[in-house]
Amino acid sequence: MSPTALRIDPKLKARIKKLADKAGESPHSFMLKALEATVERAETREEWLESGRRAAEEFDRTRMGLELEDLDDWFTRSARGEKVEMPKARRIPKARK
């Protein structure tokens, strides 16, 4: 690993040291784990947003989707333990302006 210098506010540095000590690890190790967790969370969020963008583009192209009422009925009945089939996607007309 190549070294990277970070300027850390003294108050934040003290907070990091306190938490690292409680976790039984060095502040360096604690910060690396925190950075990795933050990067993973940001990457996961980006993947989730991209998936949503792709789904929206596909819906705009195909207009295929589930009606809220059908989905609500399916969830309600499934929650009661009934064996019900997932509603079928159907063409959703564009809303009139």
Encode pLDDT of 15-68 as tens digits: 999 999 999 999 999 999 999 999 999 999 999 999 999 999 999 999 999 999
DSSP 20-88: HHHHTS-HHHHHHHHHHHHHHHHHHHHHHHHHHHHHHHHHHHH-EE--HHHHHHHHHHHHTT---PPPP
Residue 96: predicted pLDDT: 82
**Residue 95 reports pLDDT greater than 90:** no
Q: How far apart are CA 3 and CA 27, in angstroms?
A: 15
The pLDDT of residue 97 is 76
* Range 81-87 average pLDDT: 96
Nearest residue to 91 (alpha-carbon basis) of 70, 74, 72, 66: 66
Q: What pLDDT, on a 0 to 100 scale, did the predictor assign at position 76? A: 98
Ordered by start, the domain boundaries in the chain are 10-62, 63-97
Asked if the model's pLDDT at residue 74 lies above 90, the reply is: yes
CA distance 60 to 53: 10
What pTM was computed for the model?
A: 0.72
pLDDT score recorded for residue 1: 81
